[in-house]
Amino acid sequence: MKLLTHNMLTSPGNARGFPLKIEGATVEEVETDFNAEFISRMVAKLEWDALLGALQQLGVAHQLPSAVPDKYAEDEAFLKALHHVLVEVEVMEGELVCPETAKRFPVKGGIPSLI
């Protein structure tokens, strides 16, 4: 589960079930092509605090600021750091916990299960 995916997922059966807390995770890093335009387009769709929270829960070091910079589209260093955490950090095993109901959903082999 990439963190871009995590940033979109909500808890089944609870509209306020966001963000899902990540527990007991093992993380792998993969390398993927950097597409500045795509990452830049994703910024407006992200829940920034949820992303920072997920990074903290995973204990992944990063260089992201506490808020999105104003001129982020021209800020290549920022976009590259964001690219890395969004699509190169992959949660392989662990659990997702609904913040409202504490219901748990497993992540196995890199795939979160909401069933």
Partner 1 sequence: MSRPELQAPAEIFYGEQEASKYLHNSRMIEVQASMAERALEMLCLPEGAPALLLDVGCGTGLSGEVLEEEGHWWVGTDISRHMLATAQERGVEGGLVHDDMGCGLHFRDGLFDGAISISAIQWLCHAETSEHNPRKRLAVFFASLYKALRRGARAVLQFYPQNPEQLQLITASAMRAGFGGGLVVDFPHSTRAKKYFLCLLAGPADPTFAMPNALGADGAGDGDGDGDGARAHVQNVGRSRQHARRAGAGKRARTPIKSRDWVVRKKESQRRQGKAVRDDSKYTARSRRPKF
Cβ-based nearer residue to partner 1, 27 or 42: 42
Amino acid (1-letter code) at residue 32: T
* Cα 3 off chain centre by: 2
Say whether residue 81 binds partner 1 (CB under 8 A).
Answer: no
Closer by beta carbon to partner 1, 47 or else 100: 47
Decide: 31 and 88 in contact? Cβ < 8 Å: yes
Q: Between 24 and 63, how does the x/- string for binding to partner 1 read (CB under 8 A)?
A: --------xx-x-xx--xx--x-x----------------
Distance between CA atoms of 46 and 26, rounded to whole angstroms? 23
CA separation for the pair 48, 28 (Å, rounded): 22
Which residues of this protein are in contact with partner 1, per CB under 8 A?
1-2, 4-5, 8-12, 18, 32-33, 35, 37-38, 41-42, 45, 47, 87, 109-115
